[in-house]
Structure 1
Amino acid sequence: MVTARDDVNAFAAMESLRVALDQAHIVLPSLGVDAGSPALGLVELGRVRADVAMRLAEALRHGGDE
């Protein structure tokens, strides 16, 4: 189980996610850090088209191996 960690930088987490998604040929155009709640360290995933959501689900099922 993953728990929240105070020492994880939201910008670093966002960039790490962006790189991993890029390696799976997936782009989340609205990916960013939620500037409205900096103390919470939230990463905004945003909206995606249905086909992108399906590719993301497949990548997660297969551990990113394609």
Structure 2
Amino acid sequence: MTVAADTSVCIGAGLCALRAPAVFDQDEADGTVVLLGQPAPDDLPAVREAVDQCPSGAIAFTDG
């Protein structure tokens, strides 16, 4: 399972970067999500929280 980010639906709320800063950041130009890489096992709880709380559904777990 991997994490994916869709900048076309991101509204720049920044909850992902606040919840899991090792995995997500925000683009300086427009505030949309930037995926820094796949989460380490220790980061998974924070990433799950970020996915659950994303108001636009821009981040998700995917198969593959």
Q: Choose between structure 1 and 2: higher strand proportion.
A: 2
Q: Choose between structure 1 and 2: higher helix proportion.
A: 1
For normalisation by structure 2, the TM-score amounts to: 0.33
Higher RCO structure (Cα 8 Å, ≥6 apart): 2
For normalisation by structure 1, the TM-score amounts to: 0.33
Structure with larger Rg: 1
